[in-house]
Amino acid sequence: MKKVLFCISFIFIFLIGKSQEIKFSANVSKRQVIVGERFQLQYSINSSASGFSAPDLSAFEIYSGPNQSTSVQIVNGNYSQALTYSFILAPKKEGKATIGPATIVVGNGKVKSNAVELEVLKGGATTKQQGGNTAGNNASGNNVNAGDNLFIRAIVDKSKAYLGEQITVTYKIYSKYNQISFSELKFPTFNGYYSEEIKSIKNDKLIPENYNGSNYYTAELKKTLLFPQKSGKLEVPSLDATCLVREKVQAQSIFDQFFGGSYKDAEVKVRSKSLQLEILPHPASGKPADFNGAVGNFSIAAKTDKTTLKAGDAVNYKITLSGKGNLKLLENLPIQFPTEFEVYDPQVTDEISVTDAGMSGKRMFEYLMIPRAGGSYALGPFTFSYFDPIRKTYQTTTIPKIVLEVEKTNGEQVVVNRGGSQTSVKKLASDIRFIHTGDAELEPIQNNHFFGSAGFYSLLSLPPLALIVLLFMRMRSAERTNNLGAYKKKEAGSMAQKRLKKAKELLVLNNKIAYYEEVYKALNGYLSDKLQMPVAELSKEAIKTKLDSHKVPEPLIAELLKIIDSCEFARYAPGGTSEMEDIYSETIHTLNKIDQQLKA
Amino acid sequence: MKSIFIVVFIALCSLAKALSPDALVVDANKAYTASDFKKAVLLYEQVINEQKLESSALYYNLGNSYFKLTDFPNAILNYNRALRLNPDDADIQNNLNLANAKIQDRIEPIPELFYFRWAKQLRNALSIDTWAICFLVFLFLSAFGWVFYIIGATVGTKKTGFYVGFLFLFFSLFTLALAWSAKHYKATVKEAIVFSGSVSVKSSPAESGTSLFVVHAGTFVSITDQVGDWVKVKIPDGNEGWILATDLEVI
């Protein structure tokens, strides 16, 4: 039982001890601060911790921090550890400012600090009293009316400039106090410009100057050359300075006056007004194709260290760009080397001075080239274009032509390039293909096409029509072939007539054999057609049976056969003309009768 | 009196010169070769606008002149016009690709199915009228085949005539389909180039419509519909919307 109690009390004590240990607190060096005045913010924790996360400090300017420091103490065998995070801050706005709690990780849990409230006073100048009579050394400070007595001006030599044209900006302090020292100078960063500081500033002496009707002591704080990198409205940022001025205060006693009066040192914060510049883009009209942003006034020269060499030897090609303008920004030169040359990146050497007059001097580009094959190569002429902001025009200078005579060597390199192995065609650049210069084959602009026109349809209808006509004709002739017998039957009479007519002519001529022949043929032909029998089958018996079947009277058949007989006979027997005439009339008579009978 | 005569004479001469479009084209080509692209543009446009003449080469040369003047929307417009007249010209396609690389919008076209692409290429291989003439030629050849079939004396001739007739009939129908498709494409499919520097494409044909996306000068669009002053456009990546017809130049 005793043992258990002991254990419980031990744990309890341990817990109390542990909970007492962790303390995370925030402290500030001043509760009342002036806008822009620095103060320290400190977080401390008496335990080992990690993962510090600061509160929102956007209402303050952070000069430094978080700075971490650790201290370890062992007092009388008691081990204690402290961890501090500190910031140096300055408030941006007047009024009440609250710094929220910070958090930190201890072991597995998060610990929060307290929040801190600050009172921020209006800016101006606090003074530190000094001198013979310090008048009570009051810490509340006196304000110095700084407005007209102390200010900084940013002065530019032009408010309108072209892209890349140099602008000189001078920050100058104007003061009615003849003694100033700077406790802090915050130089601006120039965004949107390439800037180059002019070093030749002597600010060890104050120079009197009359400005707006008053006399001031002036000093140049900073002088910079600016090269605008984008067009449009660009700001020249302001410069902040904290100055200590020594001001004479009215003597409060005769002793003070005797010892030269009393002075007080005042801390004054001043800020130059920011300026707006108008940056014009380079004019589009007449812009050369090779223009690469050079602005100023330049001349260019080129030389090589030798003009005759052997393939594989190195040659130095030096281009000197001299003049005034944005020299340091010029990196690419419009040079196209012969493809047979191996060219290394240029070595750039500057002899550039940055003075009040601007940036001027020389920039030299040295190219090391190694020709890989023999021949005569021309370097240039290349054109270099720049924009002259004074004349407001583009200028083009020419890099003169240099001819290099490269002697062929029998070395390996030449063999490699020109010998057995081939190299693929190198593409140097892409450009549009040239215009078509041949016959333009101009045609009237129209939306009418042959396709769908009347001509098209008439041509389209031709083949089907032709086929239809052909088919029709074909059908007609086929019909005729099929009914040849009927046709012959129909035409038999007229055929006989024709034959007999011919026979009649022969009769007149008294050509007996031919006459009978013709009559015989007429009869045979007529019978063959009419009875639809081949001539070869026309025997007398066949004729008789066929005519019988057509119901031709017996005497008529007999007469017909008699005529045939007499014809056959008479061809070989003598006979008179009267006989021939009888046969003729009889034939006509008989044929007419048979024809009538067959039709009936 | 004399001076009036001279003035009239000069006017006639200039008229005569202006009336010769081929001479204008030759002059323009000379101006282009001499890098006087502005003059070349003026002369080429004179042939098109005043003489109402056109040809693939003319549009191509005009496009080249605009390209050299860095007026890429006009260059693209004229290359497209040239391509419509001569769809298979490698020079035009090459320069059009270069001009398209110079404009602000880079649009990845939706890849077409290969058989659509082939069909399009085949259709574009010849002009509408050439396809129509091919159709007629095949039709006549087919008719010849049928003639042999009809009047052929032997079975062999008839058979050959029959098959040849069918084969050419098939060819003729095929070319007819291509001619019809090409004519349909020309008559109904309208394409245009955006000419305003930057245009918001709206969801509806009204100023109050939601802006869907922004296209810039030189972008190729297909016009699919029109409501009043607004046209519905489709850009090659498949996005659609409405813009004012005045922001476009129809190819």
At a CB cut-off of 8 Å and minimum separation 6, what does B221 contact? Answer: B191, B192, B193, B194, B215, B233, B234, B235, B248
CB–CB of A142/A131 below 8 Å?
no
**Ordered DSSP codes for B170-188:** HHHHHHHHHHHHHHHHHHH
Confidence at B137, pLDDT banded by 50, 70, 90: very high
Look at domain B14-100 and name its CATH class. mainly alpha
Q: Rounded mean pLDDT of chain A?
A: 78
CATH number at residue A94: 2.60.40.740
The pLDDT of residue A200? 59
pLDDT in tens, A410-454: 654 444 444 455 667 766 777 888 888 888 788 777 667 788 888
Same domain for A362 and A232, yes or no, is no
What is the phi/psi pair of residue A43, to 5°?
-115, 130
The pLDDT of residue B135? 93
The pLDDT of residue A139? 32
In whole angstroms, give the CA distance from residue A136 to residue A127: 13
Q: Does A432 reside within a domain?
A: no
Facing residue for A470 by CB, picked from B53, B99, B150: B150
Same domain for A115 and A167, yes or no, is no
CB atoms inside a 10 Å sphere around CB A288? 15
Q: Are the Cβ atoms of B47 and A442 closer than 8 angstroms? A: yes
Distance between A434 CA and the closest CA of chain B, angstroms = 8
Distances (CA, A) of A35 to A56, A89, A97, A127: 18, 11, 11, 15
Minimum CA–CA partner of B151 in chain A: A474
Task: Give me the percent of chain A exceeding a pLDDT of 90.
Answer: 0
Give A-chain residues touching B32 at CB under 8 angstroms: 435
Of A333, A302, A332, give the one whose Cα is nearest residue A404: A302
pLDDT in tens, A276-288: 888 888 888 778 8
Identify the domain containing residue A245 by its residue range.
128-279
Of A92 and B134, more confident: B134
Q: Is the pTM of this model over 0.95?
A: no
Same domain for A388 and A497, yes or no, is no
Facing residue for B143 by CB, picked from A441, A449, A466: A466
Same domain for A405 and A489, yes or no, is no
CATH number at residue A412: 2.60.40
**Ordered DSSP codes for A362-423:** EEEEEEEEEE-S-EEEEE--EEEEEEETTTTEEEEEEEPPEEEEEE---SHHHHHHHSSS--
The pLDDT of residue A125? 44
- pLDDT of B192 strictly over 50: yes
Poorest-pLDDT segment among A242-251, A533-542, B176-185, B188-197: A242-251
At a CB cut-off of 8 Å and minimum separation 6, what does A75 contact? Answer: none
Where does a domain end: A121, A142, A176? A121
pLDDT in tens, A523-571: 888 888 877 778 777 788 888 888 888 878 888 888 888 888 887 777 7
pLDDT in tens, A474-530: 888 877 776 766 677 677 777 778 878 888 888 788 777 788 888 888 888 888 887
Q: Tell me if chain A has a CB within 8 Å of the CB of B136.
A: yes
Q: Tell me if chain A has a CB within 8 Å of the CB of B96.
A: no
A168: which 2 tokens? 């000189």
Report the Cα B40 to chain-centroid distance in Å: 21
Distances (CA, A) of A330 to A326, A338, A398, A402: 7, 22, 16, 22
Q: Tell me if chain A has a CB within 8 Å of the CB of B19.
A: no
Which residue is it, tokens 């007609």?
Answer: A476
Among A291, A442, A465, the residue to mutate for chain B (most B Cβ within 10 A): A442
Q: Are the Cβ atoms of A441 and B57 closer than 8 angstroms? A: yes
Poorest-pLDDT segment among A113-117, A264-268, A320-324, A524-528: A264-268
Q: Does A403 reside within a domain?
A: yes
Q: Are the Cβ atoms of B139 and A460 closer than 8 angstroms? A: yes
Q: Does A449 reside within a domain?
A: no
Distances (CA, A) of B30 to B25, B27, B46, B49, B247: 9, 5, 15, 20, 33
The pLDDT of residue A575? 63
CATH number at residue A526: 1.20.120
Q: Are the Cβ atoms of A431 and B98 closer than 8 angstroms? A: yes
In whole angstroms, give the CA distance from residue A491 to residue A487: 6
What dotted CATH number matches B190-250? 2.30.30.40
At a CB cut-off of 8 Å and minimum separation 6, what does A280 contact? Answer: A160, A161, A162, A163, A231
Same domain for A73 and A171, yes or no, is no
**Ordered DSSP codes for A440-507:** ---EE-----STTSHHHHHHHHHHHHHHHHHHHHHHHHHHHHHTHHHHHHHHHHHHHHHHHHHHHHHH
Of A589, A590, A487, give the one whose Cα is nearest residue A529: A487
Cβ-based burial of A255 (10 A; exposed 0-12, middle 13-18, buried ≥19): exposed
- pLDDT of A597 strictly over 50: yes
Give B-chain residues touching A451 at CB under 8 angstroms: 128-129, 131-132, 179, 183
The pLDDT of residue A416? 43
Confidence at A129, pLDDT banded by 50, 70, 90: very low
Same domain for A245 and A320, yes or no, is no
Facing residue for A467 by CB, picked from B25, B94, B146: B146
Same domain for A94 and A151, yes or no, is no
**Which B-chain residues 24-63 have CB contacts (< 8 A) with chain A?**
25, 29, 32, 47-48, 51-58, 60-61
Facing residue for A474 by CB, picked from B29, B58, B150: B150
Distance between B214 CA and the closest CA of chain A, angstroms = 24
A210: which 2 tokens? 């009359």
pLDDT in tens, B200-250: 898 888 888 888 888 888 899 988 888 888 999 998 888 889 999 888 888
CB–CB of A332/A319 below 8 Å?
no
Give A-chain residues touching B67 at CB under 8 angstroms: 432
Q: Are the Cβ atoms of A444 and B52 closer than 8 angstroms? A: yes
Q: What is the mean pLDDT of residues B115-133?
A: 85
Minimum CA–CA partner of A447 in chain B: B187
Where does a domain end: A279, A304, A319? A279
A556: which 2 tokens? 């008529």
Give A-chain residues touching B153 at CB under 8 angstroms: none
Q: Does A433 reside within a domain?
A: no
The pLDDT of residue A307? 84
The pLDDT of residue A413? 47
**A430 DSSP 8-state letter:** -
Confidence at A138, pLDDT banded by 50, 70, 90: very low
Minimum CA–CA partner of B61 in chain A: A435
Q: Tell me if chain A has a CB within 8 Å of the CB of B94.
A: yes
CB atoms inside a 10 Å sphere around CB B103? 20
Where does a domain end: A121, A139, A163? A121
Pairs across A and B, CB distance < 8 A? 95
Same domain for A346 and A361, yes or no, is yes
The pLDDT of residue B177? 92
Among A451, A473, A481, the residue to mutate for chain B (most B Cβ within 10 A): A451
Q: Are the Cβ atoms of A436 and B60 closer than 8 angstroms? A: yes
Give B-chain residues touching A431 at CB under 8 angstroms: 98
Give B-chain residues touching A471 at CB under 8 angstroms: 150
Give B-chain residues touching A462 at CB under 8 angstroms: 140
Facing residue for A467 by CB, picked from B55, B94, B143: B143
The pLDDT of residue A600? 62
- Is B190-250 the same fold as B14-100? no
pLDDT in tens, B42-57: 999 888 888 888 888 9
At a CB cut-off of 8 Å and minimum separation 6, what does B167 contact? Answer: B142, B145
- Report how many domains make up chain A: 4
**Crossing angle, helix A484-509 and helix A512-531, to 10 degrees?**
170
Confidence at A131, pLDDT banded by 50, 70, 90: very low
Of B156 and A202, more confident: B156
**Crossing angle, helix B90-100 and helix B72-85, to 10 degrees?**
150
Q: Does A15 reside within a domain?
A: no
Same domain for A77 and A144, yes or no, is no
Q: Are the Cβ atoms of B25 and A441 closer than 8 angstroms? A: no
Poorest-pLDDT segment among A28-42, A81-95, A488-502, B202-216: A488-502
The alpha carbon torsion through B168, B171, B176, B179 (nearest 10 deg) reads -130
Q: Does A378 reside within a domain?
A: yes
The pLDDT of residue A250? 64
The pLDDT of residue A135? 35
A407: which 2 tokens? 């002697």
**Ordered DSSP codes for B204-222:** SSSTTSPEEEEEETT-EEE
Q: Does A560 reside within a domain?
A: yes
At a CB cut-off of 8 Å and minimum separation 6, what does B32 contact? Answer: A435, B40, B61, B64, B65, B68
Which residue is it, tokens 């001097």?
Answer: A361
How is chain B split into domains, by residue range? Answer: 14-100, 114-188, 190-250
Reported as half-sphere exposure (CB side, CA atoms, 13 A), residue B75 has a value of: 25
Determine if residue A592 is left, alpha or beta; phi over 0 gives left, psi from -120 to 50 gives alpha, anything else beta: alpha
- pLDDT of B153 strictly over 70: yes
Same domain for A106 and A219, yes or no, is no
Confidence at A10, pLDDT banded by 50, 70, 90: low
Residues of A contacting chain B (CB within 8 angstroms)? 430-445, 447, 449-452, 456, 459-460, 462-464, 466-467, 470-471, 474
Which residue is it, tokens 């030599």?
Answer: A157
Q: Are the Cβ atoms of B21 and A442 closer than 8 angstroms? A: yes
Q: Are the Cβ atoms of B29 and A432 closer than 8 angstroms? A: no
The neighbouring-strand residues paired with A65 are none
Q: Does A181 reside within a domain?
A: yes
Strands of the A103-106 sheet, one edge to the other: A50-53, A103-106, A109-112
Of B8 and A176, more confident: A176
Q: What one-letter code names the amino acid at A371?
A: P
At a CB cut-off of 8 Å and minimum separation 6, what does A17 contact? Answer: none
Q: Are the Cβ atoms of B136 and A437 closer than 8 angstroms? A: no
Of A387 and B20, more confident: A387
The pLDDT of residue B136? 92
Same domain for A329 and A226, yes or no, is no
- pLDDT of A331 strictly over 60: yes
pLDDT in tens, A48-60: 788 888 888 888 8
Minimum CA–CA partner of B56 in chain A: A440
Confidence at B126, pLDDT banded by 50, 70, 90: confident
Same domain for A190 and A274, yes or no, is yes
Q: Are the Cβ atoms of B95 and A433 closer than 8 angstroms? A: yes
**Which B-chain residues 191-250 have CB contacts (< 8 A) with chain A?**
none
